[in-house]
Amino acid sequence: MRLAGERPSWSDLLERVFRVDGFACPGCGGPLALRCVVLNPRATRRILDGLRRATGPPGLDPVGDDRKA
């Protein structure tokens, strides 16, 4: 809920324009939580680049893997 004269939040705008709850998980519908806000553009780019590289689980270390085939 916002007070008179305040700008609407991004989640209010999503709800109003697209009828989408900005804090609902698109997979299960459960609630999402805002974890942090990154304001530095360089930090944002580093975070997004890191997410782009992380496309799967880390590989196994062949030296440290003690399992027998």
Whole-number pLDDT of residue 34: 79
Whole-number pLDDT of residue 23: 85
- Residue range 16-60, pLDDT digits in tens: 999 888 888 888 889 988 787 888 888 888 887 877 766 666 566
Range of the domain at 39: 10-51
Considering the domain boundaries, does residue 43 fall inside one? Answer: yes
Considering the domain boundaries, does residue 68 fall inside one? Answer: no
First to last CA, the chain: 59
Considering the domain boundaries, does residue 42 fall inside one? Answer: yes
**Distance between CA 9 and CA 26 in Å, rounded?**
19
Considering the domain boundaries, does residue 39 fall inside one? Answer: yes
Tally the domains of the chain.
Answer: 1
Considering the domain boundaries, does residue 20 fall inside one? Answer: yes
Considering the domain boundaries, does residue 65 fall inside one? Answer: no
pTM: 0.39
DSSP string, the chain: ---TTPPPPHHHHHHHHH---TTB-TTT--B---------HHHHHHHHHHHHH--SPPPP-TTT-----
